[in-house]
Amino acid sequence: MMNFFQYNWQVRDKWLDWCKQLTTEDLLKDRIGGVGSILYTLFHIIDAEYSWLRAIEGKEDVVVRFDDYNTLEKVKTLSDTFRQDIVTFIQTTSDELNDQLVSVPWDEDQYTRSEIVHHIVAHEIHHVGQLSVWARELGLRPVPANFVGRDFKPG
């Protein structure tokens, strides 16, 4: 599963770099078919990933507000900071616990750890697709999303 997280992180980092060519207005403009703006979408991906993984760990959710991370630099810092905790969790978690049920404060249902991990990966891929559509609407080439041909660190 680590390769899928590394894939998402590589693509996310490319999107964060890609965003440097945009104006603040373009980054923050509300867009159709997603959760809001390009910058908010990246923030949302990072926030959701961290919240779900903290739930798996049985830890309290860390609520972050977009108003506190409303620049490209702050979103990149948030991504890097949260990623360190996630890497540690993924490297130390046991597959034996995959069927363990997890409750989250934002949903009444329970999910297995395995379902949540798969959801996290699919969630980011879904939003990257939205970013790609918005890039084309801006007349720009989106970040390539191929999984094949990538170099993943052992883990």
DSSP 15-35: HHHHGGGS-HHHHHS--TTSS
Give residues with Cβ within 8 angstroms of 54, minimum separation 6: 60, 61, 62
In CATH terms, 2-137 corresponds, of 1.10.3720.10, 1.20.120.450, 3.40.640.10, 1.10.287.3510, to 1.20.120.450
- For 54, phi and psi rounded to 5 degrees? -65, -35
Greatest pairwise CA separation for the chain in angstroms: 47
* 114 close to 100: Cβ distance less than 8 angstroms: no
Q: Which of 74-88, 97-111, 129-143 has the lowest mean pLDDT?
A: 97-111
Q: Where are the domains of the chain?
A: 2-137
Structure-token match 């996310």, residue found: 12
User: Global pTM?
Assistant: 0.93
Give residue-wise pLDDT tens across range 5-46.
Answer: 999 999 999 999 999 999 999 999 999 988 999 999 999 999
pLDDT band at 154 (very low <50, low <70, confident <90, very high): low
Q: Quote the distance between the C-alpha of residue 59 and its chain's center.
A: 19
Amino acid at 11: V
- Over residues 122-146, the pLDDT tens digits come to 999 999 999 999 999 999 999 999 8
